[in-house]
A and B are shown apart, each in its own frame.
Chain A
Amino acid sequence: MEHMNVANPYFGVFVLFLLTFGAFYATTLIARLASRAMAAKNTEKLKMTVYECGPEVTKQPNRISPQFYLFALLFLLFDVEIVFMFPWAIDFKLLGWFGLVEMMLFILLLAIGFVYAWKKGALEWHNIK
């Protein structure tokens, strides 16, 4: 391994860059620590809550429609099945009719699954209002 070439014209710039980088972080760190140490602390409960002009705030759980998961799962499954089509597409000429028939069978099976999901209403977005 060669020694590092200190004579490079841009080496000084690099060192400066590093120093600035360090100095920047050091300044912001010191500023943050100082302000935290000097700040008046008032962690009263009412002050920490969201402003709601009177009534106590209740936390609303973030509900995502279950339909979303169904969509995500179906997407995931059909997306990953594409994996088996890439090798076939690359060797399409090599595999010839045999490969074509095989792939058609594979797509047929996927299509049955797709029609099944469709008919069962998994692809309808009920909850949009």
Chain B
Amino acid sequence: MLEAVNISMDSLNLVTLAPMLTVIVGALSILIIDLLKSNQHKSLYVMISVLFLLLDLGSLINFVDFFGTNGTMLGFFDVMLVDGLAILSQLIIVGASILFIPLSLTSKRFHEYNYPEYYALFLFMIAGFQFMVATDNLILIFVGLETASLALYALIAMHNRAKSFEAAVKYFTMGALAAGFFSFGSMIFYALTGSVEINQIASVLAADGYSNIGYVLVAVIFLLASIGFKLSLVPFHSWTPDVYEGSSAALAGYMSIVPKIAAFIVAMRMFEFLIHSGVVWLEVILYGAVILTMTAANIWALVQKDVKRMLAYSSISHAGFAMAAIMIGTTQANSALFMYWILFVFTNLGAFSMLWVNRQKTLLPGQSSDHPYEKFSGMIKTMPVAAVMMALFMLSLAGVPPFGIFWGKLYLIGSAVSAGYTVLALIMALNSAIAGYYYLKLIVYMFMKEPAQETESGFYMMNASLSLKSIIGFTAFATIFSVVLVNPLMEFITAMVYNSGY
């Protein structure tokens, strides 16, 4: 007879689960409140979501202290892994979510925000992303990825227009394919090494000197494809503009930030050992994907007629920039990725919130999409403050000093040069120059053109409310004063990344 296993609570280290459990409890309590007393006002659910996200943030800040003294934490049979990467990315995820949730307090009434399920699904999604980054076990990464994605499909579809259903179905088919690719790639790694933990896969592969290099390449291509779907790297990007156009502008802004940082962490854990293995082919594959993503997305963005689609392509291009950091793979580059993405959170969320503020309930006559360039023409005369804000975010996205993303680009290109990737650095600089054109195009529309006819009926700022304005104000503040934030932030990030060995 087998002896019953004795599991002590200390060995489980349940505290590693605390951040995810917080948001899951939050989501469940929203559902239970709805069951007990339905038809509450949406501001109650917003308050509960923000409260639990703040608790989540508090436990993460606690982890930062703990990590500083004790180093990496393992928990739950060594499945949970709380290192610097996990803590940093969870801070970004939860921070961006706290900025996103108040965007649902619009002055126009939108269908989805009156359902408590919207907030519950949102919190479940955050828990999924947190699981995805706080582990190096492929099973948990897969489960987290799918929890988050399935919740996200539902969130997109809840926007309740024909376009959003279409977007959700398109995203769903792509996501299902990505799930298949991920599981097949991890199956090949499991067949090669007999383990599904990334550090063990790395050590087994290194021990037999990459003798099965062909199979490793196939597995890497499958995993790159599945992560590429989430990151919208170029051969796998085709869903991005459609999905962004179909979902609400606020959710599109969120989707350009949070799913991607989670996927970046998975890519960083996965490709870190592969890049340092010295196999040339792996590097060539990644190099090609990075260059293609940066350049092709920029060229597509040039010809767009809708601002939201333009921002979608620009976010693909920015993802390519950040992916370059993973390909370079030095500590400096990995820290630059986090820096870049934190600044990108503020700028991109601000830009998409500006679109969200200017959203009207129905399409104007003669308009095929929500935010064509013409809608913004002459905005400086009708709504000067909004036009200046929008211009600020566009300049930051274009990488004009001293606004936010300039510093991210500076660190990233600097790390590329110091790691010896001079050509890559040159291509990145050139791409920034191309990207400047389409951001400036919007500024030209806003500042140089005459206002459109319909402005008397006042379709700017239709959706504005105090909470939306304060979120935009906060992101604008962070974008302008990033100069003073950058240095201390960089020191903090570098310490975190270096201490977790990346």
Contacts and interface: CB of A to CB of B under 8 A. Distances in A.
Interface of A: 93-96, 98, 109, 112, 115-116, 119
Nearest to B120: A116
A95 B5 contact: yes
B4 A94 contact: yes
B207 interface: no
Contacts of A98: 5, 7
What band does the interface of chain B fall in when counting residues whose beta carbon is under 8 Å from A?
A: 10 to 19
Interface string B1-20: 11111110000000000000
Nearest to A112: B28
B131 to A, nearest CB: 15
B28 A94 contact: no
A112 B4 contact: no
A109 B28 CA distance: 9
Contacts of A119: 35
22 contacts: A93-B1, A93-B2, A93-B4, A94-B2, A94-B3, A94-B4, A94-B5, A95-B4, A95-B5, A96-B4, A96-B5, A96-B6, A98-B5, A98-B7, A109-B28, A112-B28, A112-B31, A112-B32, A115-B35, A116-B31, A116-B35, A119-B35
Interface of B: 1-7, 28, 31-32, 35
B27 to A, nearest CB: 10
A98 B32 CA distance: 27
Given A94-B5, A115-B35, 13 more contacts: A93-B1, A94-B3, A94-B4, A95-B4, A96-B4, A96-B5, A96-B6, A98-B7, A112-B28, A112-B32, A116-B31, A116-B35, A119-B35
4 closest A-B pairs by beta carbon, nearest first, are A96-B4, A98-B7, A119-B35, A94-B2
A93 B5 CA distance: 9
Q: Which of A98, A109, A112, A115 has the most CB of B within 10 A?
A: A98
Contacts of B2: 93-94
Contacts of A109: 28
Contacts, number: 22
Contacts of B31: 112, 116
A39 to B, nearest CB: 47
Nearest to A96: B4
Contacts of A93: 1-2, 4
Residue with the greatest number of chain A CB neighbours at <10 A, chosen from B3, B6, B35: B35
A87 B45 CA distance: 38
B124 to A, nearest CB: 11
Contacts of B3: 94
Nearest to B12: A98
A94 B1 CA distance: 9
Contacts of B1: 93
A95 B5 CA distance: 6
Contacts of A115: 35
A109 B127 CA distance: 15
A109 B35 CA distance: 15
B342 to A, nearest CB: 34
A112 B5 CA distance: 30
A112 B6 CA distance: 29
Contacts of B32: 112
A95 B2 CA distance: 10
Nearest to B31: A116
Contacts of A96: 4-6
Nearest to B2: A94
A120 B3 CA distance: 45
A90 B426 CA distance: 60
A16 B28 CA distance: 70
Contacts of B28: 109, 112
A94 B6 CA distance: 9
A112 B124 CA distance: 14
A92 to B, nearest CB: 10
Contacts of A94: 2-5
Nearest to B8: A98
A59 B35 CA distance: 43
A57 B67 CA distance: 75
Nearest to B24: A109
Nearest to A97: B4
A96 B2 CA distance: 11
Contacts of A112: 28, 31-32
A14 B32 CA distance: 69
Nearest to B7: A98
B54 to A, nearest CB: 24
A109 B124 CA distance: 13
B378 to A, nearest CB: 48
A93 B2 CA distance: 8
A109 B31 CA distance: 12
B388 to A, nearest CB: 46
Nearest to A91: B2
Contacts of A95: 4-5
Nearest to A102: B7
A109 B7 CA distance: 23
